[in-house]
Amino acid sequence: MSSIQQKNKIFGIIDANNFYVSCEQAFNPKIKNKPVIVLSNNDGCVISRSKEAKALGIKMGQPFFEIKDLVEKHNVIAFSSNFSLYADLSYRFHEILSLYFPKVEIYSVDESFIDLSEFNNYDLHSYLKMIKENIYQWIKIPTCIGVGRTKTLAKLANEYAKKNQEYNGIFIALTKEKELEILTKNKIEDVWGIGKKTVNFLKKNNIYTPYDLIQQNQYWIRKNLTINGLKILYELKGLSCKEIESNVIQRKKSATISRSFRKVITEKEELESKLLEFCVKLSEKLILHNLVPEYLGLYLRSNPFDKNEVYYSNHSMIKLPYPSNSIETLKKNSFELLKKIYKKNIKFKKMGLYALGLRENYLGIQKNLFEQYSKRSNELSKLIISLFNYYNRLGKRKILFGKNLMYGYLFSDNPSTIIRSGKYTLAIEEVMEVYIK
DNA sequence: TCTGGGGTCCTAGGACCC
DNA sequence: TCTGGGGTCCTAGGACCC
Residues A36, A77 contacting (CB under 8 angstroms): yes
Residues A412, A419 contacting (CB under 8 angstroms): no
Q: Is the pLDDT of residue A372 over 60?
A: no
Q: Is the pLDDT of residue A209 over 80?
A: yes
Give the mean model confidence (pLDDT) for residues A216-240: 96
Distance A382 CA to B11 C1' (A): 40
Q: Is the pLDDT of residue A366 over 70?
A: no
* pLDDT averaged over every residue in chain A: 87
pLDDT reported for residue A424 = 78
Strand, helix or coil at A105?
Answer: strand
pLDDT reported for residue A436 = 60
pLDDT reported for residue A110 = 97
**Confidence grade of residue A362 (pLDDT, cut at 50, 70, 90):** confident
**φ, ψ of residue A40 in degrees (nearest 5):** -75, -175
Name which of A385, A366, A376, A414 is nearest A283 in CA terms: A385
Strand B nucleotides below 7 A of a protein CB?
Answer: 1-11
Distance A224 CA to C2 C1' (A): 39
pLDDT reported for residue A433 = 65
Give the mean model confidence (pLDDT) for residues A187-206: 97
pLDDT reported for residue A387 = 64
pLDDT reported for residue A402 = 34
Rounded (10°) CA dihedral A21, A24, A30, A35: -20
pLDDT reported for residue A91 = 95
Q: At what angle do helices A176-185 and A151-163 cross, to 10 degrees?
A: 70
pLDDT reported for residue A374 = 57
pLDDT reported for residue A2 = 47
Rounded (10°) CA dihedral A68, A73, A74, A78: 30
Strand-pair partners of A352: A258, A299
Q: Is the pLDDT of residue A395 over 60?
A: no
Name which of A23, A56, A229 is nearest A143 in CA terms: A23
Strand-pair partners of A15: A111, A144
Residues 187-226 of A with CB under 7 A from strand C: 191-199
Rounded (10°) CA dihedral A208, A211, A213, A218: -170
Give the mean model confidence (pLDDT) for residues A275-301: 94
**Confidence grade of residue A27 (pLDDT, cut at 50, 70, 90):** very high
Q: What's the Cα-to-Cα distance from A127 to each of A90, A111, A124, rounded to whole Å?
A: 22, 18, 5
**Confidence grade of residue A388 (pLDDT, cut at 50, 70, 90):** low
Q: Is the pLDDT of residue A49 over 80?
A: yes
Q: Is the pLDDT of residue A129 over 60?
A: yes
Q: Is the pLDDT of residue A399 over 60?
A: no
pLDDT reported for residue A408 = 29
Give the mean model confidence (pLDDT) for residues A395-412: 32
Beta-strand runs (E) in A4-63: 11-16, 36-39, 46-49
pLDDT reported for residue A377 = 64
Which is it for strands A77-80 and A104-108: parallel, antiparallel or unpaired? unpaired
Give nearest nucleotide to A256 (CA–C1'): B6
Give nearest nucleotide to A259 (CA–C1'): B5
Beta-strand runs (E) in A130-197: 143-148, 170-172
Residues A12, A97 contacting (CB under 8 angstroms): no
Cα–Cα distance for residue pair A93/A99, rounded to 1 Å = 10
Rg of chain A, C-alpha, whole Å? 24
Give the mean model confidence (pLDDT) for residues A315-332: 92
Q: Is the pLDDT of residue A354 over 70?
A: yes
**Confidence grade of residue A6 (pLDDT, cut at 50, 70, 90):** very low
Q: Is the pLDDT of residue A365 over 60?
A: no
Instruction: Provide the whole-model pTM.
Output: 0.89
Q: Which residues touch strand B (CB under 7 A)?
A: A 40-42, 44-45, 47, 60-61, 63-65, 68, 226-228, 252-260, 285, 303, 305, 349-350, 352, 354, 403-404, 406-407, 410
Q: Is the pLDDT of residue A406 over 70?
A: no
Q: Is the pLDDT of residue A371 over 90?
A: no
pLDDT reported for residue A95 = 95
**Confidence grade of residue A375 (pLDDT, cut at 50, 70, 90):** low
Name which of A325, A426, A334 is nearest A385 in CA terms: A325
Sign of the torsion angle spanned by Cα atoms A378, A382, A385, A387: negative
